[in-house]
Chain A
């Protein structure tokens, strides 16, 4: 039984569990001080308010500055990891078209769906929000189907 389970975790679980706890801790630090459950994808729209007057973006104007700061800090935090544990830069083998087209879908979907993996997946699930649990179940299932279809079509890594 346990051996069967281990097959699903070829890289063990330590990196995932510890990393996840730290992601939660970062969220908790901001929430404890400010009461704001900061997700990662609002940054896309709040930053667009610098260049567009559309009402949809302007509504995020009050938070846009700190969201830029938050995102830059995420980049730097990951860079600290790369320097300490990764021994320099790492680059993906996933094709640019997949990153680009997938990115467009992510940009549209996360904003229409009221959240992404951090807003729904971390904060929403942590809040035991029924909306977020349904949202997470939806995007995980669709992503599983999408990835398997691409793999079956020979778009494997």
Chain B
């Protein structure tokens, strides 16, 4: 059941990114230039629906049916990395008008040049991973889950 559920969730997620036009870098860049603020509705629409799950599900049952995992909110510890990463991510988002989920969806809507962005993302993720693996101080006991 686990795999089919992931597929259904991914299909809806991807369809939503296509429908909301987030798979189009131009639309994100228009938001950042204050020409079309529609992106606000995407983020808040999405977070409200997800938020309902985070608040309602724990009150309905103790854990998830497929894994037994407790229903917990997504809470990451705050440290300097959140700001540093946020700044670096922001530069990339402003340059390319694309984020990871939207990039996968962009491939789905037939936007083949997005492969440049996806290649860049893998190179960036690889570079920081190698660098952080070599630094024992960054043991990072709690990996980020997105």
Residues of A at the B interface (CB closer than 8 Å) are: 8-13, 15-45, 47-48, 52, 54-57, 59-60, 66, 69-82, 85-86, 88-94, 96, 98-132, 134-136, 138-148, 150-151, 157
Chain B residues within 8 Å of A10, by CB: 35-36
Residue numbers in B under 8 Å from A136 (CB-CB): 43, 86
Tell me the B13-54 residues at the A interface (CB within 8 Å). 13-26, 29, 32-54
Say whether B76 contacts A124, CB under 8 Å.
yes
Given A31-B53, A90-B111, decide whether A138 and B82 contact each other with a Cβ distance below 8 A: yes
Whether A103 and B116, one on each chain, are in contact in the complex, defined by CB atoms closer than 8 angstroms, is yes
Across-interface contacts of B38 in A (CB, < 8 A)? 9, 11-13, 15-16
Across the interface, do B111 and A91 meet the contact criterion of CB distance under 8 Å?
yes
Judge if B128 is at the interface, Cβ distance under 8 Å.
Answer: yes
Determine which of B40, B64, B98, B146 lies in contact with A102 in the assembled complex, contact meaning CB atoms within 8 Å.
B98
Per the bound structure, the CA–CA distance linking A128 and B44 in Å amounts to 12
> Would you list 26 pairs from A and B whose C-beta atoms are within 8 A, ordered by A residue?
A13-B41, A24-B45, A28-B50, A29-B9, A29-B12, A31-B50, A34-B69, A35-B67, A41-B100, A43-B100, A56-B130, A57-B133, A69-B7, A77-B11, A77-B12, A80-B11, A81-B19, A93-B26, A105-B93, A112-B88, A112-B128, A116-B146, A122-B47, A125-B51, A131-B76, A146-B94
Contact across chains for A131 and B125 when beta carbons are under 8 A apart: no
CB distance from A157 to the nearest CB of B (A): 6
Interface centre among B46, B54, B73 (most CB of A within 10 A): B46
Q: With A122-B50, A126-B50, A131-B75 in contact, is A75–B104 under 8 Å at CB?
A: yes
With A16-B39, A20-B46, A105-B124 as given contacts, are A28 and B129 in contact (CB-CB < 8 Å)? no
B126 and A76 contact, CB distance less than 8 A: no
The B interface is mostly helix, strand or loop, or mixed, namely helix
B33 to chain A, nearest CB (A): 6
The reply to whether A24 and B49 form a contact with Cβ atoms under 8 Å apart is yes
The CA of A109 and the CA of B128, in the complex, are separated in Å by 9
Chain A residues closer than 8 Å to B15, beta-carbon distance: 22, 26, 77-78, 80-81
User: Are B95 and A79 interface neighbours, CB within 8 A?
Assistant: no
Q: Is the CB of A75 within 8 A of B105?
A: yes
Partner of A35, one of B69, B88, B129: B69
Most buried by A among B51, B95, B116: B95
